[in-house]
């Protein structure tokens, strides 16, 4: 579409009141959304029925009254679900929808269909997920690349950034917590599906890292937010005001041809290749990101009372997970021991540094660039299920390290070896190499804080049990294996033997390493895996 045509379309000059002002709009969409929203991967309230929706805000991004061209609506809606009341406004389940409105849906968009309202202002029209329609995505980018305001929506372009017009859109359809669209293989727009009042760390931290000149994270090029969504009536019966802007989407440079760490790890496992060079380089990248975050955003020292609070939070999450997933219950007491070790750490006046961290680091959040083979880190949103305030809090940086260690275990258990002895040894070595790389590049040596590492790895495994039970039940055995291992480890041992850094690890041939490998380890190569040599 030409710039003039798209600008005209986006101007949306109406000769009628906007359809979003019609009182019957949301009621007419509710029956469709009650079917469609709970089926989406990003829907957080799985397992509880949706009894209705409240409208938080609505904007007409493209007029919906043209018969030949699709219209586009922007909605923030809050799902009504019976159950325990929300603890904070951030806990409420508010979702962002971009709806296409057309007379008839072209067959190529059949998978995007939401439904056809039987009454209200869109009677007889077809409503569908606009983020699956490349044409509507391209128009959304046209809106985004020019700073400005539309109703409650505010569009911002980063400093010294000029986004070209007319980039072709390619919606991503993989399993994701949010919805992403690639434009001209030059930019990627991530549209957050859960909308919480407050700056999303996936905008906040990359902006801070760009200020700190950290080149490990693609800098935001443009973003859009919603300002003050007015009073809403969530399930807890209290009226909340969304005082802070809600971050809705972020556009960043697309690392074309980059491969993600998860895929690279699975590739390595499939040919029985060592991964220690890559893991070590990833450790370096992670430490660089942590250092830059600590330099540019607030930090604090955690003392005994903080450690008590952290341990209590972990124990509460364990209890909640065990209520939802019975398989966890037999391990509950022994897992708790890992958390109970934390407060005693502060007894001698020992303190631990806390800072802003990634919050959900795993191999799928790392990208290795095609040309120079350098690791980047993406997706700073934190664990999507946690309240925003908690995700924006300072924490020990080793929490990210523990999370990444879980990811090597996941790869080994879900990859081609299916958790055989060779794969588990692969994971042990990759984990140790990551820790070593992290410490080499200035991060706190994970071996020096075994209790913290064990507590955070346990907390992460518990999170994963709940995550898999909700989203991918077939994957549940993977974190359950970690739960059994962590519950079996002697809580008085100090260092978990699975975390110990073997000084000889991290040296095998690794086709994906971006650092010079050290002297090779002949006992662990692609051609001679330990159990194959007999």
Ligand X SMILES: O=P(O)(O)O[C@H]1O[C@H](CO)[C@@H](O[C@H]2O[C@H](CO)[C@@H](O)[C@H](O)[C@H]2O)[C@H](O)[C@H]1O
Ligand Y SMILES: Nc1ncnc2c1ncn2[C@@H]1O[C@H](COP(=O)(O)OP(=O)(O)O)[C@@H](O)[C@H]1O
Residues within the interface to ligand X (CB under 6 A): 176-177, 262, 360, 362-365, 379, 383-384, 406-407, 410, 464, 467
Among 105, 378, 398, 480, indicate the residue that binds ligand Y (CB under 6 A): 378
Q: Per rule CB under 6 A, is residue 375 in the interface with ligand Y? A: no
Q: Which of 441, 432, 436, 354 is nearest to 399 (CA)?
A: 354
CA distances from 97 to 94, 178, 253 (A): 10, 11, 24
- Whole-number Å distance between alpha carbons of 429 and 524: 10
CB of 449 to ligand Y, least distance (A): 28
Q: Which of 135, 158, 130 is nearest to 145 (CA)?
A: 158
Longest dimension (CA), the chain: 80
Helices (H), 167-253: 201-211
**Of the two residues 90 and 464, which places its CB atom closer to ligand X in the complex?**
464
Among 126, 177, 286, 458, indicate the residue that binds ligand Y (CB under 6 A): 177
CA distances from 391 to 103, 198, 254 (A): 42, 11, 25
Q: Per rule CB under 6 A, is residue 210 in the interface with ligand Y? A: no
CB of 264 to ligand X, least distance (A): 12
Q: Per rule CB under 6 A, is residue 367 in the interface with ligand Y? A: yes
**Around Cβ 183, how many Cβ atoms within 10 Å?**
24
**Of the two residues 44 and 172, which places its CB atom closer to ligand Y in the complex?**
172
**Of the two residues 410 and 434, which places its CB atom closer to ligand X in the complex?**
410
Q: Which of 56, 44, 118, 128 is nearest to 86 (CA)?
A: 44
**Of the two residues 232 and 363, which places its CB atom closer to ligand X in the complex?**
363
Q: Which of 28, 53, 12, 15 is nearest to 125 (CA)?
A: 28
**Around Cβ 9, how many Cβ atoms within 10 Å?**
20
CB of 363 to ligand X, least distance (A): 5
Q: From ligand X, ligand Y, none, which one binds at residue 255 (CB under 5 to 8 Å depending on kind)?
A: ligand Y
415 SS3 class: coil
Q: Per rule CB under 6 A, is residue 129 in the interface with ligand Y? A: no
Are 352 and 452 within 8 A, CB to CB? yes
Strands 179-183 and 169-171: antiparallel
CB of 155 to ligand Y, least distance (A): 20
Strands (E), 104-200: 113-115, 126-129, 148-150, 153-157, 169-171, 179-183, 187-191
Q: From ligand X, ligand Y, none, which one binds at residue 190 (CB under 5 to 8 Å depending on kind)?
A: ligand Y
Q: From ligand Y, ligand X, none, which one binds at residue 407 (CB under 5 to 8 Å depending on kind)?
A: ligand X
Q: Per rule CB under 6 A, is residue 195 in the interface with ligand Y? A: no
CB of 385 to ligand X, least distance (A): 7
**Of the two residues 212 and 389, which places its CB atom closer to ligand X in the complex?**
389
- Whole-number Å distance between alpha carbons of 221 and 237: 39
**Around Cβ 289, how many Cβ atoms within 10 Å?**
27
Q: Which residue is nearest to ligand Y (CB)?
A: 176
Among 188, 310, 404, 405, indicate the residue that binds ligand Y (CB under 6 A): 188
Q: From ligand Y, ligand X, none, which one binds at residue 363 (CB under 5 to 8 Å depending on kind)?
A: ligand X
Q: Per rule CB under 6 A, is residue 364 in the interface with ligand Y? A: yes
Q: Total residues contacting ligand Y (rule CB under 6 A)?
A: 19
CB of 143 to ligand Y, least distance (A): 21
Q: From ligand Y, ligand X, none, which one binds at residue 247 (CB under 5 to 8 Å depending on kind)?
A: none
- Whole-number Å distance between alpha carbons of 81 and 451: 39
Q: Which of residues 223-262 bind ligand Y (CB under 6 A)?
A: 252, 254-255, 258, 260
Are 15 and 110 within 8 A, CB to CB? no
By CB under 6 A, name the binding residues for ligand Y. Answer: 172, 176-178, 180, 188, 190, 218, 252, 254-255, 258, 260, 364-365, 367, 378-379, 381
């Amino acid at each position: 579409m030409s710039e003039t045509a798209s600008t005209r379309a986006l101007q949306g000059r109406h000769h009628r009141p906007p359809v979003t002002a019609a009182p019957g709009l949301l009621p007419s969409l509710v029956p469709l959304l009650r079917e469609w929203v709970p089926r989406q991967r990003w829907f957080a309230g799985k397992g509880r029925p949706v009894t209705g929706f409240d409208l938080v805000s609505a904007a007409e991004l493209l007029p919906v009254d043209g018969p030949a061209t699709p219209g586009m609506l922007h909605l923030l809606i809050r799902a009504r679900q019976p159950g325990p009341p929300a603890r904070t406004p951030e806990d409420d389940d508010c979702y962002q929808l971009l709806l296409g409105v057309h007379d008839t849906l072209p067959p190529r968009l059949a998978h995007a269909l939401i439904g056809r309202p039987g009454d209200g202002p869109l009677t007889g029209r077809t409503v569908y997920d606009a983020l699956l329609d490349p044409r509507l995505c391209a128009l959304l980018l046209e809106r985004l690349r020019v700073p400005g305001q539309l109703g409650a929506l505010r569009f911002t372009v980063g400093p010294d950034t000029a986004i070209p017009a007319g980039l072709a859109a390619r919606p991503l359809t993989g399993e994701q917590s949010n919805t992403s669209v690639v434009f001209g293989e030059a930019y990627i727009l991530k549209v957050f599906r859960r909308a919480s009042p407050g700056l999303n760390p996936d905008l906040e931290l990359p902006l801070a890292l760009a200020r700190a000149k950290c080149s490990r994270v693609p800098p935001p090029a443009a973003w859009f937010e919603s300002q003050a969504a007015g009073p809403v009536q969530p399930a807890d019966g209290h009226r909340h005001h969304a005082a802070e802007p809600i971050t809705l989407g972020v556009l960043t440079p697309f690392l074309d041809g980059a491969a993600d760490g998860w895929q690279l790890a699975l590739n390595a496992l499939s040919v029985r290749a060592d991964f220690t060079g890559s893991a070590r380089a990833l450790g370096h990248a992670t430490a660089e990101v942590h250092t830059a975050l600590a330099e540019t955003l607030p930090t604090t020292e955690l003392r005994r009372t903080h450690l008590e609070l952290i341990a209590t939070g972990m124990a509460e999450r364990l209890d909640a997970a065990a209520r939802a997933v019975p398989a966890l219950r037999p391990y509950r007491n022994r897992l708790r021991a890992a958390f109970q070790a934390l407060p005693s750490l502060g007894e001698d006046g020992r303190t631990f540094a806390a800072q802003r961290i990634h919050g959900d680091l795993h191999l799928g959040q790392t990208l290795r660039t095609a040309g120079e083979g350098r690791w980047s880190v993406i997706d700073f949103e934190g664990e999507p299920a946690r309240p925003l305030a908690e995700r924006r809090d300072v924490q020990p940086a080793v929490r990210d390290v523990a999370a990444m260690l879980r990811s090597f275990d996941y790869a080994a258990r879900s990859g081609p070896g299916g958790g055989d002895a060779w794969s588990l040894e692969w994971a042990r070595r990759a984990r140790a190499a990551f820790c070593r790389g992290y410490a080499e590049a200035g991060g706190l040596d994970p071996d020096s804080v075994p209790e913290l590492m064990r507590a955070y790895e346990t907390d992460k495994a518990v999170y994963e049990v709940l995550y898999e039970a909700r989203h991918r039940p077939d994957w549940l055995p993977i974190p359950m294996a970690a739960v059994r291992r962590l519950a079996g480890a002697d809580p008085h041992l100090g260092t978990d033997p699975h975390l110990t850094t073997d000084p000889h690890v991290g040296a095998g041939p690794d086709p994906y390493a971006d650092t010079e490998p050290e002297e090779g380890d002949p006992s662990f190569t692609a051609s001679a895996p330990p159990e194959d040599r007999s």
